[in-house]
A and B are shown apart, each in its own frame.
Chain A
Amino acid sequence: MWIKKVKQTALAATLCAMCAPVFAKTELTMFYPVAVGGALTKIVDGIVADFEAANPDIDVNAIYAGNYNDARVKALAALQSGEPAQLSVMFSIDVHELMDLDAIVPFDDIVSSQEEKDWLAGFYPALMENGIVDGKTYGVPFQRSTIVMYYNKDLFRAAGLDPEKPPTTWEELAEMGAALTKKNADGNVDQWGAMIPSTGYPYWMFGALTKQQGQTLMNGAGNETNFNHPKVIDALNFWKDLGSKYSVMPEGAIEWGTLRQNFLEQKTAIMWHSTGNLTTVKKNAEFDFGVAMLPAGSELGSPTGGGNFYVFKDASDAERAAVLKLVKFMTSPEQAARWSIETGYMGVSPAAYDTPELMEYVKTFPPAAVARDQLQHATAELSTHQAGRVRKILDDAIQSVLTGQSSAEDALNGAQKQAERILKRYK
C-alpha cells in the first residue's frame, strides 16, 4: 500500500517533470510584507493577477509574510531549506545584511537592453539611496514611504488655529501643540497636541528628527554610525521635550500599532506616521484632516522607508528574466499609480505621477502628493551591516530616554559605543 503510494507519487512527479517543458511555465515565489495594516494584501493580489493574465507563461505565488521582519525571516528560511523563492519584497534597509548573507544579486546583472536600463534609472533618486551599494542596484523601490504629518483640521479650528497652516517648524509644533492639548475637569489630558510613535520603528521617526537637524545617522557604506553627534543628541532631547517640557505629547513610549486609531478617535490632533496609512485614514476619518510635511528644525527632512524588490541568487536565468518582467510590471507607472491611490504609498517614479489617474487623484486629494514633495528633503533610512542589532541598540537608547531612564547624552554615547564594536569588523 505504502510502496504503491510512493510509486504513484514518483510517477506523478515524473509526469509533471515531463509536461513542464510543454507548457514552459515559469513559477515565481515572492514573499511580501505589510507594515501598516489594512487590506493591502488584496491590492497586491489584484496586481499579481493582472500580471498573470498579461503573462500566461508565468505563475506568481505571492505570499503575504507579516511585517518586514517576518518577511525577511520567512524568505531566508525558505531559501535555506531549499524551497524556491526567486524574489521578495523586503525592508529597503536589509540590503547590507542580505549582501553579507550572499543571498541577493544586483539588478544590474539582470537588465540587458537599453529599455531595461532606462527603467532602472527612472525611479526617484531618493528612493534608490537605500538600494544602491557600491554603485550597483540591489533594491528596486516598491512600497515606499516617507513620514508625513497627519493633522485634524477640525481640532485646529476648535483651538482657534488656521486649519490650512499646520506647524512648519519645531517651535510651531510645540506652540500649536500646546494650544491643541486639552485637559478635562480633573486635570487629566483628554486630547493631546501631537504624537510621534516610539515603538515598532523608533529609529525611523528618529531619523526624521536628526535629518531635520541636518545630520544623518550613518554613512553610505553602512559601517559607521553617528549616534552621539551633538545634533543627534539635540534631536533626541527635542523629542523628549515634547513630552516632558512642552507637555504636548504623552510621556513614555507611544505605541506604533494603535497610534492611527488614536488619531481617528481624535485623541491626538497631530500624528507622525507612514504615508502608507493615508488611504486608510482617508476612509475612516470622520473629521476634516490634512497632511503636511514634517516640521523643520534647522531644515526639513524625513527618512524614506518601506520595502524594495530583491532578486535571490538562486534564481535560474529563465526565472530571473521572469522576475524582471514582474518587477517591471509592478513598478510600471500605471501600476505604481494604482498602488499609490489604493494605499497612500508613494508612486515610485516621476512617470507614475504623470499618469492621468494619479494626476486626477492628486488634484482632488492633494495630501496624496505630500510624501512625494517631501522626497527632495529626504534621506536614507538607517541601514548598516548587522542592521537588526544596530537598530535595536538605537531603539533601546531612544526608549530609555523617552521613558526617563537615562539622559539623551548617556544613552546615545552608550549606543554609539556598542554600534562601533559591532561595526568595526566591516571596515
Chain B
Amino acid sequence: MANSLFPLTAYTIYSTMQSSKQIHAWLLLLPAMCLLVAFTHYPVVKTIARSFYGFGTRWESKPTLENYRYLLEDDVLMQVLYNSFLYAAITVPVSIVLAIAMALWVNGKLAGKGLLRTAYFTPTVLPMISVANIWLFFYSPEIGLLNKLLGLVGHGGINWLGDPSVALYSLMAMTIWKEAGFFMIFYLAALQTIDRNLYDAAAIENASSWTVFRRITFPLLMPTTLFVLVNALLNAFKLVDHLFILTKGGPNNASNLLLYYIFENAFSFFDTAYASALTVLLLVVLVVLALLQFGVIEKRVHYR
C-alpha cells in the first residue's frame, strides 16, 4: 500500500511543479505577448478585414472584392511595383557587395583602421530624414554638390531628382550609401570569427588571394550573407523615409515605392480600405520573398 502510494505522490508533486512551471512560463511570456497582439497581430487581422469590408473610410456590411479589383486596374500601382522590384534588385546586391568589400578592407592590417571603420559606419548612425535633407541639397541641380563636381569637368549637370529617368536611381544611390555601412558591421564581425588556421593552410598551399576568398572567406560568410540578404530585402520594401523629403514619389510617380504609395492612399487620400488591400499585397510579396530566400539559399548555407 505504502509502496504504491509513493509514486502517486511523486507524480502529484511532479505535475504540480509542471503546472506551476507552465504558469510561470506563460506569465513571463505575457508582456511580450500583449505587445505583439496589440501592435502586430490585431492590426494585421484588422487590415485584412478592412481590405474586404472597407470602402474609402467607411465599413461595409458585406465583404467585397472591390478593393482588390482596383489593384488590377490601377496603372500607378503597376509603376510602383516595377519601381519597388527594380529598387530591391539593385540596392540589395550592390550594398552587399560593397559591404563585403569594405569589411575586407577594414579587417586587414591598415593604419587608421578605426577611423576608417567609423567613417564607413557613420551613414548608418544618422537618421534617414536628416540625411535625406542633406542629400536634397547634394542633388539640387543648380546649387548641389554633385552638379558642381560635374561642372568642373564641363558637364552641364543632371536634374537628379527632377528627371523621371534618373530620380529612382538617385534614391538608390543614397540608400546604398546608407545601408552598406550597416551591413559591413555584420561582415566585419563574421570575418573575425573565421579560424586563422584556414588562412595559414591556404598560405602553405600558395593559394591566390582570389581562391582564398572564393574557397574560404566567402563560404564561411554565407550565414551572414543570408542574414544580411533577408534584412536588406525587407529594408528595400520597408524604408521609404527619404521619399518624403527627396521626391514624394515624383516626378509623375517615377520614384514612387510601394510603402510610400500605401501611405499616400491611407493618409493623403483617406482611402484606408484600398491602402489595406495594398498592405495585404505587400505582405504577400514579403512572405513569398522570405520563403524563396530560406527555401533556396538556406540549402547552400554552411553553418558550423
Contacts and interface: CB of A to CB of B under 8 A. Distances in A.
Interface of A: 69, 73, 97, 101, 186-189, 192, 198-200, 250-255, 257-258, 261-262, 265, 267-268, 386, 388-389, 392, 395-397, 399-400, 402-403, 405
Contacts of B164: 399-400, 403, 405
B253 A258 contact: no
Interface of B: 57, 76, 136-137, 140-143, 151, 154-157, 159, 161-164, 245, 247-248, 250-254, 264, 267-271
24 contacts: A186-B156, A187-B156, A188-B151, A189-B156, A199-B250, A250-B142, A250-B159, A252-B159, A252-B163, A253-B162, A253-B251, A254-B162, A255-B136, A255-B162, A258-B137, A261-B140, A262-B140, A262-B142, A265-B143, A386-B270, A392-B269, A396-B250, A399-B164, A399-B252
A392 B248 CA distance: 11
Contacts of B248: 199-200
B170 to A, nearest CB: 12
B104 to A, nearest CB: 38
Nearest to B247: A199
Main SS at interface, chain B: loop
B57 to A, nearest CB: 7
Nearest to B57: A101
Contact of B251 (A73, A187, A386, A402): A402
Contacts of B156: 186-189
B250 A388 contact: no
Contact of B136 (A69, A188, A257, A403): A257
Contacts of B250: 199, 253, 395-396, 399
A103 to B, nearest CB: 11
Contacts, number: 98
Nearest to A401: B252
A396 B252 contact: yes
B252 A267 contact: no
A251 B159 contact: yes
B138 to A, nearest CB: 10
Closest 6 interchain pairs by CB? A253-B162, A267-B142, A399-B251, A188-B156, A388-B268, A252-B162
B269 A389 contact: yes
Contacts of B157: 188
Contacts of A267: 142-143
Given A186-B151, A255-B140, A258-B140, 10 more contacts: A69-B267, A97-B270, A187-B156, A188-B154, A198-B251, A250-B162, A253-B162, A386-B270, A403-B163, A405-B164
B251 A199 contact: yes
Most buried by B among A251, A254, A268: A254
Nearest to B147: A188
Contacts of B141: 250, 252
A265 B141 CA distance: 13
Contacts of B264: 388, 392
Contacts of B162: 198-199, 250, 252-255, 403
A386 B56 CA distance: 10
Contacts of B269: 386, 388-389, 392
A261 B145 CA distance: 13
Nearest to B155: A188
Nearest to B165: A403
Contacts of B151: 186, 188
B251 A400 contact: yes
A252 B159 CA distance: 7
Contacts of B137: 258, 261
B161 A253 contact: yes
Most buried by B among A188, A397, A403: A403
A253 B136 contact: no
Contacts of B251: 198-199, 252-253, 399-400, 402-403
Contacts of B154: 186, 188
Contacts of A188: 151, 154-157
